[in-house]
Amino acid sequence: MSKDAVWVLFLVTSFQCLLLSAETHPAILLPNHYNRNTPVTCPAPNPNLYYQPVIGIVTHPGDGATGRLSNTTGASYIAASYVKFVEAAGARVVPLIYNEPTEKLFKKLELVNGVLFTGGWAKSGLYFETIGRIFKKALEKNDAGDHFPIYAICLGFELITMIVSKDNNILEEFCASNQASTLQFVENANIKGTLFQRFPPDLLKKLSTDCLVMQNHRYGISPGKLQGNHKLSSFFEILTTCEDEDDMVYVSTMRSRNYPVSAFQWHPEKNAFEWASSEIPHTKDAIQITQYAANFLVSEARKSINRPVAQEVRDNLIYNYSPTYCGKAGKGYDEVYIFAPV
Ligand SMILES: *[C@@H]1O[C@H](CO)[C@@H](O)[C@H](O)[C@H]1NC(C)=O
């Protein structure tokens, strides 16, 4: 065979191979192969959603480390896990410093697209009043046509239970300190429009069999007491319950019937971001719970119609403060942001 003949043979067989492989393995064309001459434009995927959402997190009295970091009167803190929770889902945080003048606090509330009430212990005084004012304002925003979500976690759950019932003695005592638990969905639980809606079916199932969520509370409310209180039962719908150490049943997740309000007696933020307690679940499933819970809050916040001035947002972001590592002692929170009074 001449050199040319070999070359032709090679070309023919290669072409046949190409044809064959095209038949069995169709080529995958990446989007930019379709039409190289059309300039690529990237409009917002959904012009009705806001892609710079900001969540306000209310600070809690103290330093979050029983005085190890600061004894300053009027100091307050946010455990950094709540900030990371929000950031991991694609939003930024503005701290809402609970003891700032109400006028200043409400100005900051105009910079955010949703709020988060953290865990803690304070159930009275200025802190309780501030949570009440912000909660009321948030509901008003929704009534006025904004979609303004609220996540109330642990103490936050307890405080909005007190606020909605208008009964500061509504809570009952439970033994659920520092323990992981399952979540039991109530009969006919309607998870449409809740954080659980987007859970993959197998993860949703595991919630009721595996200890995937962290509890750390001594108060709560039983399903019976909630249902027997008209103000609470007309506002909230129970999604899940849990049993404490003494087999007493408490409401562990609920949502508002008419507002984008979700309340967790458990801690969605801890699984991925807190390490001091060996009880905190850190399995792949547990981390996903944190991620799905964070994604739901931020996806709700993207529906907000609030479009604050960008510079005013930047001036008030949590990035104006530095977190402090307090987890070296092997207890409490790993990192906290501390806000000294001005
Ligand atoms: C705060 O006070 C406690 C008790 O007196 C003390 O042990 C701690 O070191 C103080 N913290 C700071 C940051 O000074």
Q: What is the pLDDT along the chain (342 residues), one digit of tens a residue?
A: 455 655 555 555 555 544 445 456 678 776 665 666 677 788 889 999 999 999 999 999 999 999 999 999 999 999 999 999 999 999 999 999 999 999 999 999 999 999 999 999 999 999 999 999 999 999 999 999 999 999 999 999 999 999 999 999 999 999 999 999 999 999 999 999 999 999 999 999 999 999 999 999 999 999 999 999 999 999 999 999 999 999 999 999 999 999 999 999 999 999 999 999 999 999 999 999 999 999 999 999 999 999 999 999 999 999 999 999 999 989 999 999 999 986
Q: Is the CB of 240 under 6 A from ligand 1?
A: no
- CA angle at 155 for the pair 150 and 159, rounded to the nearest 5°: 70
Atom of ligand 1 nearest to the CA of 71: 1
Element (H, E) at 293: helix 284-301
Q: Is the CB of 70 under 6 A from ligand 1?
A: yes
Reported for 46-52, long-range contacts at CB under 8 A and 24+ positions apart, including other chains, are: 48/303, 49/302, 49/303, 50/113, 50/301, 50/302, 50/303, 50/304, 50/305, 50/306, 50/307, 51/302, 52/92, 52/310, 52/313
**Pocket perturbation via mutation, ligand 1, pick of 66, 68, 70, 325 by most ligand atoms within 8 A of CB:** 68
Q: Tokens at residue 114, please?
A: 């949703």
Rounded distance from Cα 119 to ligand 1 centre (Å): 23
Say if 208 falls within a structural domain: yes
State if residue 71 touches ligand 1 by the CB under 6 angstroms criterion: yes
State pTM to two decimals.
Answer: 0.90
Give CA–CA dist 49/305, Å, rounded: 8
What is the span of the domain harbouring residue 276? Answer: 54-338
Evaluate: CB of 66 within 6 angstroms of ligand 1: no
Answer for the pair 220, 181: CB distance below 8 angstroms, yes or no: no
Residue type, 287: I
The confidence score (pLDDT) of residue 34 equals 60
Residue 119, in any domain of the structure:
yes
Flag whether 219 is in a domain: yes
In a domain, 73, yes or no: yes
pLDDT of residue 17: 46
47 inside domain: no
**Is residue 93 within 8 Å of 57, Cβ to Cβ?**
yes
Q: Tell me how many domains the chain contains.
A: 1
Residue 100 lies in a domain: yes
CATH code for position 119? 3.40.50.880
212 within a domain of the structure (yes/no): yes
130 within a domain of the structure (yes/no):
yes
